[in-house]
Amino acid sequence: MRIDQLAYRALNPVHARDPLSGEGARIEPKRFNPPGTAALYTSLDPLTALNELCEAGSPLEPTLVVSVRVTAEPVFDAAEGPVAARGYALRDLLADDWADRTDGRLPLSQAFARALIDEGFAGLRVRSCAPGAGEGSLNLVLWRWAGRGGARVDLVDTEGRIAALPKG
Protein backbone atom coordinates (compact mmCIF):
# COMPACT_ATOMS: atom_id res chain seq x y z
CA MET A 1 0.00 0.00 0.00
CA ARG A 2 0.97 3.65 -0.30
CA ILE A 3 0.88 6.04 2.67
CA ASP A 4 0.61 9.79 2.15
CA GLN A 5 -0.53 11.46 5.34
CA LEU A 6 0.41 13.07 8.62
CA ALA A 7 1.82 10.87 11.36
CA TYR A 8 2.92 11.65 14.91
CA ARG A 9 5.94 10.85 17.03
CA ALA A 10 6.04 11.12 20.81
CA LEU A 11 9.62 10.96 21.94
CA ASN A 12 11.97 11.60 24.78
CA PRO A 13 13.10 15.27 24.67
CA VAL A 14 16.71 14.01 24.72
CA HIS A 15 16.16 13.23 21.03
CA ALA A 16 14.43 16.55 20.25
CA ARG A 17 17.23 17.92 18.06
CA ASP A 18 16.98 14.95 15.67
CA PRO A 19 13.43 13.57 15.89
CA LEU A 20 13.74 11.68 12.59
CA SER A 21 16.95 9.73 13.24
CA GLY A 22 15.50 6.34 14.29
CA GLU A 23 18.75 5.71 16.16
CA GLY A 24 17.07 5.12 19.51
CA ALA A 25 15.28 2.09 18.05
CA ARG A 26 18.49 0.87 16.39
CA ILE A 27 20.31 0.97 19.73
CA GLU A 28 17.40 -0.51 21.70
CA PRO A 29 15.34 -2.69 19.32
CA LYS A 30 11.59 -2.62 19.69
CA ARG A 31 8.78 -4.92 18.59
CA PHE A 32 9.15 -4.36 14.82
CA ASN A 33 12.84 -3.64 14.29
CA PRO A 34 15.47 -6.33 14.63
CA PRO A 35 18.74 -5.53 16.44
CA GLY A 36 20.91 -3.07 14.53
CA THR A 37 18.02 -1.84 12.37
CA ALA A 38 17.09 1.83 12.63
CA ALA A 39 13.35 2.40 12.70
CA LEU A 40 11.08 5.39 12.84
CA TYR A 41 8.04 4.57 14.97
CA THR A 42 5.09 6.83 14.25
CA SER A 43 1.37 6.74 15.00
CA LEU A 44 -1.44 7.80 12.73
CA ASP A 45 -3.08 9.94 15.41
CA PRO A 46 -1.59 11.98 18.30
CA LEU A 47 -3.37 10.09 21.11
CA THR A 48 -1.96 6.76 19.92
CA ALA A 49 1.53 8.33 19.85
CA LEU A 50 1.16 9.36 23.50
CA ASN A 51 -0.31 5.97 24.48
CA GLU A 52 2.73 4.27 22.97
CA LEU A 53 4.97 6.00 25.52
CA CYS A 54 2.85 5.20 28.56
CA GLU A 55 3.22 1.96 30.41
CA ALA A 56 0.02 0.89 32.13
CA GLY A 57 -0.34 2.81 35.37
CA SER A 58 2.88 4.82 35.08
CA PRO A 59 2.98 8.61 34.87
CA LEU A 60 3.71 10.40 31.60
CA GLU A 61 7.34 11.50 31.55
CA PRO A 62 8.38 14.73 29.74
CA THR A 63 7.60 14.16 26.08
CA LEU A 64 8.01 15.93 22.75
CA VAL A 65 5.25 15.30 20.21
CA VAL A 66 5.94 16.15 16.57
CA SER A 67 3.95 15.85 13.38
CA VAL A 68 5.56 14.44 10.27
CA ARG A 69 4.34 14.25 6.69
CA VAL A 70 4.95 10.71 5.45
CA THR A 71 4.93 9.51 1.86
CA ALA A 72 5.91 5.85 1.74
CA GLU A 73 5.62 2.92 -0.61
CA PRO A 74 5.49 -0.02 -0.36
CA VAL A 75 4.05 -0.34 3.13
CA PHE A 76 2.78 -3.70 4.37
CA ASP A 77 -0.68 -3.32 5.89
CA ALA A 78 -0.78 -5.69 8.87
CA ALA A 79 -3.83 -3.84 10.20
CA GLU A 80 -5.88 -5.30 7.35
CA GLY A 81 -3.35 -7.29 5.34
CA PRO A 82 -2.64 -10.98 4.86
CA VAL A 83 -0.37 -11.67 7.85
CA ALA A 84 -1.56 -15.29 8.05
CA ALA A 85 -0.58 -15.85 4.40
CA ARG A 86 3.00 -15.16 5.49
CA GLY A 87 2.89 -17.80 8.22
CA TYR A 88 2.23 -15.48 11.17
CA ALA A 89 -0.75 -14.85 13.42
CA LEU A 90 -1.42 -11.18 14.16
CA ARG A 91 -2.22 -12.05 17.80
CA ASP A 92 1.31 -13.52 18.14
CA LEU A 93 2.93 -10.43 16.62
CA LEU A 94 0.98 -8.18 18.99
CA ALA A 95 1.36 -10.36 22.12
CA ASP A 96 2.56 -8.69 25.31
CA ASP A 97 5.35 -11.26 25.68
CA TRP A 98 6.79 -10.52 22.22
CA ALA A 99 10.37 -10.22 23.55
CA ASP A 100 10.35 -13.34 25.76
CA ARG A 101 12.45 -15.64 23.57
CA THR A 102 14.97 -17.87 25.28
CA ASP A 103 16.06 -19.94 22.28
CA GLY A 104 18.40 -17.29 20.82
CA ARG A 105 16.19 -16.60 17.79
CA LEU A 106 14.56 -13.29 16.93
CA PRO A 107 11.18 -12.67 18.51
CA LEU A 108 8.39 -13.44 16.00
CA SER A 109 7.54 -9.77 15.47
CA GLN A 110 11.18 -8.94 14.67
CA ALA A 111 11.48 -11.97 12.36
CA PHE A 112 8.33 -10.78 10.57
CA ALA A 113 9.83 -7.29 10.24
CA ARG A 114 13.13 -8.73 8.97
CA ALA A 115 11.25 -10.66 6.25
CA LEU A 116 9.41 -7.50 5.16
CA ILE A 117 12.64 -5.48 5.13
CA ASP A 118 14.34 -8.16 3.04
CA GLU A 119 11.42 -8.02 0.58
CA GLY A 120 11.94 -4.28 0.15
CA PHE A 121 9.08 -2.87 2.20
CA ALA A 122 9.64 0.68 3.44
CA GLY A 123 7.45 0.11 6.47
CA LEU A 124 4.59 -1.56 8.26
CA ARG A 125 1.14 -0.26 9.21
CA VAL A 126 -0.04 -2.15 12.28
CA ARG A 127 -2.47 -1.89 15.18
CA SER A 128 -1.14 -0.37 18.37
CA CYS A 129 -0.58 -2.62 21.39
CA ALA A 130 -0.39 0.31 23.82
CA PRO A 131 -2.64 0.49 26.88
CA GLY A 132 -5.99 1.97 25.90
CA ALA A 133 -5.49 1.33 22.18
CA GLY A 134 -8.57 0.48 20.18
CA GLU A 135 -9.10 -1.17 16.80
CA GLY A 136 -8.54 2.17 15.05
CA SER A 137 -5.29 2.96 16.89
CA LEU A 138 -2.66 2.49 14.20
CA ASN A 139 1.10 2.80 14.02
CA LEU A 140 3.40 3.16 11.06
CA VAL A 141 6.90 1.75 11.50
CA LEU A 142 9.41 2.83 8.85
CA TRP A 143 12.71 1.12 8.06
CA ARG A 144 13.59 3.03 4.89
CA TRP A 145 13.39 6.82 4.84
CA ALA A 146 15.59 9.91 4.43
CA GLY A 147 18.13 8.56 1.99
CA ARG A 148 17.44 4.95 2.92
CA GLY A 149 14.92 4.69 0.05
CA GLY A 150 11.23 3.90 0.13
CA ALA A 151 9.81 6.81 2.11
CA ARG A 152 9.92 10.53 2.51
CA VAL A 153 9.41 11.91 6.00
CA ASP A 154 9.26 15.65 6.58
CA LEU A 155 9.08 17.21 10.02
CA VAL A 156 6.23 19.71 10.34
CA ASP A 157 8.05 22.65 11.92
CA THR A 158 6.92 25.76 10.04
CA GLU A 159 8.04 28.05 12.89
CA GLY A 160 11.53 26.49 13.19
CA ARG A 161 11.06 25.44 16.81
CA ILE A 162 13.36 22.40 16.57
CA ALA A 163 16.15 24.46 14.98
CA ALA A 164 15.75 27.02 17.79
CA LEU A 165 16.43 24.45 20.52
CA PRO A 166 19.65 25.04 22.46
CA LYS A 167 22.59 22.93 21.29
CA GLY A 168 24.10 20.30 23.54
The pLDDT of residue 152 is 95
More confident call, 128 vs 132: 128
Bridge partners (DSSP) listed for residue 70: 5, 153
Asked if residue 144 belongs to a domain, the reply is yes
| Residue 122 CA neighbour count, 13 Å, CB half | 21
Could you tell me which of 67, 81, 87 has the C-alpha nearest to residue 127? 81
Asked if residue 165 belongs to a domain, the reply is no
Rounded Cα–Cα distance for residues 7 and 70 (Å): 7
Q: Are 121 and 76 in contact (CB under 8 A)?
A: yes
Asked if residue 161 belongs to a domain, the reply is no
User: At residue 55, does pLDDT exceed 80?
Assistant: no
As a whole-number percent, the residues of the chain with pLDDT over 70 amount to 96
Asked if residue 76 belongs to a domain, the reply is yes
Q: What is the pLDDT of residues 75-123, one digit of tens each?
A: 999 987 678 888 899 989 999 889 887 788 899 999 999 999 999 999 9
pTM of model > 0.85: yes
Residue-number span of the structural domain to which 119 is assigned: 3-155
As a whole-number percent, the residues of the chain with pLDDT over 90 amount to 60
The pLDDT of residue 14 is 84
Asked if residue 167 belongs to a domain, the reply is no
Asked if residue 163 belongs to a domain, the reply is no
Looking at the structure of the chain, the number of domains it has is 1
Rounded Cα–Cα distance for residues 48 and 52 (Å): 6
Asked if residue 168 belongs to a domain, the reply is no
Could you tell me which of 80, 69, 68 has the C-alpha nearest to residue 1? 80
The pLDDT of residue 81 is 67
Asked if residue 87 belongs to a domain, the reply is yes
